[in-house]
Amino acid sequence: MRLKFPGALWRQRELCWRLTEREVLGRYRGSLLGVGWSFLHPLAMLAIYTFVFAHVFKARWGTGAESGDTMGYSIQLFAGLIVFNLAAECINKAPQLILSNPNYVKKVVFPLEVMGAVTVFSAGLHGLVSLLVLILFQLVAYRSLEPTILLVPLAWLPLVLGLLAVTWALSALGVFIRDIGQVTGVAMSMLMFLSPIFFPLSALPPQWQPLLQLNPLAIVIEQTRMVAIEGRLLSGVYALVGTIAGLFLCEFSFRCFLKAKRGFADVM
């Protein structure tokens, strides 16, 4: 099957970039620190999580000698949160994406499909900023970095493709079913605690581990920690199968979106 969505996005790449730039800069327009908040926000969250979980609750990562490393727990937790926040930003925005931009729907020549890509690209840029904060924190804590951290973009590629597919699907459904936004909000709150963010997957009893692995974020979080913190190579099976599956999901969702958008104007 010939993939249509890469070509469609490539033809609209200039529009995608301009809208992404407006989305990122518009979030901080008028604020005193401007884009500086994109660095300060993840830094503040990292400090709060470190204090609450590592010092108040005395949480430790794993069961070995490294479990007493407070900094280590904070770094592991923050790596998981970066992945989750990337997914949550896209999924929570998607149901209202078309509804909140009725003017674009009325413009026949406007390619509505780029709005899903803009949402994912914008969230991805914030994820990269948070990753930079994680790198700085690792340098402060350990004065070194694992070279495998360069593989993080490859670890995130299946996630980004999957989020693009989900964003197209939810943004189209959100036009016809207004309750989708409420469902995704509850679902993401549940998913936060059902993902291995605050604990390693290996900490669960063996009988529960296969069930948690059904969560698509679980493997992305584990692979991110492997390459960014533990210095291990990315799983080739995950990278290959995840990327191929993501491409086909994107193509299927893209085609469904193009069919659904014919009825957007009638509903809105």
pLDDT one-digit tens code per residue, 70-119: 677 888 888 999 999 999 999 999 999 999 888 888 766 789 999 999 99
Which among 11, 35, 13, 32 has a CA at the least distance from the CA of 23? 35
Tokens of 1: 């099957």
- How does pLDDT run across 240-261, given as a tens digit for each residue? 999 999 999 999 999 999 999 9
pLDDT of residue 211: 82
Which has the closest alpha carbon to 74: 15, 30, 137?
137
Whether 52 is in a domain gets the answer yes
Q: Work out the average pLDDT over 115-143.
A: 91
- Structure confidence at residue 1 (pLDDT): 59
Instruction: Please give the structure tokens belonging to residue 130.
Output: 């948070």
CB within 8 A of 54, min separation 6: which ones?
A: 60, 70, 73, 74
pLDDT of residue 108: 67
Other C-beta atoms closer than 10 Å to the C-beta of 127 total 21
Distance in angstroms (rounded) separating the CA atoms of residues 85 and 123:
8
Take residue 49 and report the two structure tokens written for it. 């999580």
Give mean pLDDT, residues 171-195.
91
Indicate if the alpha-carbon torsion angle 145, 147, 153, 156 is positive or negative: negative
Asked which of 42-51, 82-91, 111-120, 149-158 is least confident by mean pLDDT, the reply is: 42-51
Q: Which residue did the predictor score with more confidence, 207 or 252?
A: 252
What pLDDT is stored for residue 151 in this prediction?
Answer: 95
Alpha-helical regions (H) of 147-260 = 152-176, 180-193, 209-212, 216-225, 236-260
How far apart, in Å, are the Cα atoms of 195 and each of 59, 68, 137, 189, 213?
Answer: 17, 22, 23, 10, 9
Residue 50: what pLDDT? 75
Q: What letters, b where the CB count within 10 A reaches 16 and e where it falls short, cover 49-82? A: bbeebbeeeebbbbeeeeeebbebbbbbbbbbbb
- The one-character DSSP state at 32 is S
How much is the pLDDT for 98?
A: 93
Domain containing residue 23? 5-262
| Predicted pLDDT at 95 | 95
Flag whether pLDDT at 64 surpasses 70. no
What pLDDT was estimated at residue 65? 36
Two structure tokens written together for 98: 């078309």
- Please check whether residue 174 lies inside any domain of the structure: yes
Please tell me whether residue 253 adopts helix, strand or coil conformation. helix
What is the helix, strand, coil percentage profile of the chain, to 5?
Answer: 80, 0, 20
Nearest to 165 by CA among 107, 230, 116: 116
- Looking at residue 30, its pLDDT comes to 64
- In a domain, residue 267? The reply is no
CA dihedral sign of residues 87, 88, 90, 92: positive
Q: Tell me which of 9-13, 93-97, 129-133, 210-214 is least confident.
A: 210-214
Give Cβ neighbours of residue 216 (< 8 Å, ≥ 6 apart): 162
Report residue 161's pLDDT band, with 50, 70 and 90 as the boundaries: very high
- Give the position of tokens 């979030």: 27
Mean pLDDT over each residue of the chain, to the nearest integer: 87
pLDDT at 148: 94
For residue 268, being part of any structural domain is answered with no
Helices 152-176/236-260 angle, 10° precision: 20
Give the pLDDT score at 268: 72
Looking at the structure of the chain, the number of domains it has is 1
Highest mean pLDDT among 47-56, 93-102, 207-216, 241-250: 241-250
pTM for this prediction: 0.89
* pLDDT number for residue 66: 45
Looking at the domain assignment, is residue 92 inside a domain? Answer: yes
Res 63 pLDDT > 60: no
